[in-house]
Homo-oligomer: A and B are copies of this chain.
C-alpha cells in the first residue's frame, strides 16, 4: 500500500473489497430473478455507481434531488427519488424530467398525491409516482391493508399521474442479528409490498413495479416472488454495524479512514489520532449492538484488524485509540503506536463516515490509489 502521499485523515476505498461486495449482491439478485437498483446515498460518487451499473444494476435510488441532478448529469437516467415528495420540491423534479431524466417520485399520503396531480396538470407534465409502503413500522409509508393506499392510488391514477409501482424499505433489519430473523423480515417486507401491489391492481390501478430492500434483507431473502426489483445501499462498502448484523466479515469492509498517530497519554493507555468525529462521523451505531466498536476498529495499513484495540473516544479532530477491553490499559501504547504511524480505521456506518469527506482515495490491489470525488448537500 502506497499511502505516503495521502494527507490524513482520508477516506480510503479498498477497490477489490468493493468489487467483491458488488458482485456478491448482484449475483444474489440474479439468482432471485429480480432487477437491482442500488441506493447511491451511501457513496454519492459516480465512480462507484459506474462499477455497480457495470455489474448489472438497473437504475439507481437517490435520497436527495441533488443526487438525482448530479447522477443525471453524469449519464444515469433511471432514477427513483425514494423520499416522500412535498410541493416545494416539485419544480426541481419538473426541471429534471424536462431535461429527459426518467425520475420517479414517491408519496405516502393523499396531500402529497394531490399536490403532484395538481402540479402535473398545471405544467402539462406526466409525473411517475411510486407509493411508499410500510412493512415494518420503522418510519414512513402506508401499511398494505390501509384504505389510504387505495385513496392515494386513485388520486394519482384518476388525475393522469402514472402510478409506477410500490416501494418499501424494511430498515428495522439494522436492529437484527441472526440469519433466521433477517430472512423472516425479508419475507415480511416482500409479502407486504406484494400485497399492496395486489390491492392496487384489484382496484384497477396499474402497479408495474414492486420494489423492496435494505442491505440485510436483500442479502437474506430466500425468494422474492412478485417483487420486480431490490434496492440496497450500504452493501457496497459494508461497515461495523453490518458486521454486527451478521451480513459481512470485518475483511469485507471496503471503506476505512486513514489516520496518523499524533500523540500519546501513555499513563492512560491512549494513543491520539488525527481522525476524530469530523472524520469518523458522530455515528455510534454499534453502541446498541452486541459488539460496541466505539468510533471505529483500527487496522494495519494492509487491512488486518488490530484485535484488542478500538477508537474509544473522539473530539472534532482527535481520536483516542485504546484497549478495547473495559478496565484494561494498554501499557505499551507509545511503543506499539509511535508518533507518525498510519492506521486504517473501519467505520460504524459507511454512509455517515463517507459524508464527512469531499473525496475518496480508491486503492487498487497493487496499492496505487486514485481520487474519486463525492458531493455533499441537497
Contacts and interface: CB of A to CB of B under 8 A. Distances in A.
B88 A260 contact: yes
B9 A378 contact: yes
A75 to B, nearest CB: 23
B171 A315 contact: yes
A145 to B, nearest CB: 13
A215 to B, nearest CB: 13
Interface string A128-156: 00000010010110000000000000000
A226 interface: no
Contacts of A351: 316
A140 B318 contact: yes
Interface in A305-324: 315-318, 320
Interface in A331-378: 338-340, 349, 351-352, 355-359, 376-378
A283 B281 CA distance: 8
Q: Is the interface of A mostly helix, strand, loop or mixed?
A: loop
A317 B274 CA distance: 29
B277 A339 contact: no
Interface in A273-328: 274, 277-279, 281-284, 315-318, 320
Given A281-B282, A316-B41, A339-B111, A274 B83 contact: yes
A83 B317 contact: yes
Given A108-B263, A109-B263, A139-B318, A358 B377 contact: yes
Nearest to A9: B378
A30 interface: no
Contacts of A83: 262, 274, 317-318
A178 interface: no
A315 B136 CA distance: 15
A140 B271 CA distance: 9
Contacts of A134: 265
Contacts of A223: none
A202 interface: no
Contacts of A274: 83, 86
Contacts of A158: none
Contacts of A139: 265, 272, 315, 318, 320
Contacts of A268: 137
A92 interface: yes
A228 interface: no
Contact of A340 (B88, B284, B315): B88
Interface in A85-113: 85-89, 92, 108-109, 111-112
Interface string A191-233: 0000000000000000000000000000000000000000000
